[in-house]
Amino acid sequence: MYLLEKAPAKINLSLDVLYKRPDGYHEVEMVMTTIDLADRIELIVLQENKIEIESDNRFVPNDERNLAYRAAQLIKDTYNINKGVKIYIDKQIPVAAGLAGGSSDAAAVLRGLNTLWNLQLSLDTLAELGAKIGSDVSFCVYGSTALSTGRGEKIKELPAPPACWVVLANPGIGVSTQTIYQQLKIDHIQHPDTEGMVDAIEQGDFQSICDKVGNVLEPVTLKLCPEVKQIKQQMVEAGADAVLMSGSGPTVFSLVSQESRAYRIYNSLRGFCEQVYVVRMLGGRTELD
Annotated catalytic sites, by residue? 10, 136
Residue 136 CB, shortest distance to ligand ATP, in Å, is 4
C-beta of 260: minimal distance to ligand ATP in Å? 29
Q: How many CB atoms lie within 10 A of CB 181?
A: 17
Output 95 or 222, the one with its CB closest to ligand ATP. Answer: 95
Q: Which is nearer to ligand ATP, 167 or 245 (CB)?
A: 245
Please identify the residue of the shown chain whose CB is closest to the bound ligand ATP: 102
**108 belongs to an annotated ligand binding site:** no
Which among 139, 137, 159, 160 is positioned nearest to 148, based on CA atoms?
A: 139
In the complex, the smallest distance separating the C-beta of residue 14 from ligand ATP, rounded to whole angstroms, is 14
* 144 among annotated binding-site residues: no
Per CB under 6 A, residues contacting ligand ATP are 60-61, 65-68, 89, 95-103, 105, 136, 174, 177, 247-248
Q: Does the annotation list 152 as a binding residue?
A: no
Distances (CA, A) of 226 to 186, 223, 230: 21, 6, 7
Can you tell me the distance from the alpha carbon of 115 to that of 199, in angstroms, rounded to the nearest whole number? 35
Residue 284 is labelled as binding a ligand: no
Alpha helices in the chain (DSSP H): 67-78, 101-116, 123-131, 137-142, 177-183, 194-203, 206-212, 218-224, 227-237, 259-269
For residue 10, give the amino acid letter: K
DSSP state of 152: T
- Taking the mean position of all CA atoms in its chain, how far away is CA 93? 9
Q: Is 100 annotated as a binding residue?
A: yes
Question: Is residue 157 classed as helix, strand or coil in its secondary structure?
Answer: strand
> How does strand 26-46 pair with strand 84-90?
antiparallel
Q: Between residues 70 and 206, which has the closer beta carbon with respect to ligand ATP? A: 70
- Of 61 and 239, nearer to ligand ATP (C-beta) is 61
Smallest gap from Cβ 174 to ligand ATP, in A, equals 6
Binding site per annotation, positions: 94-104
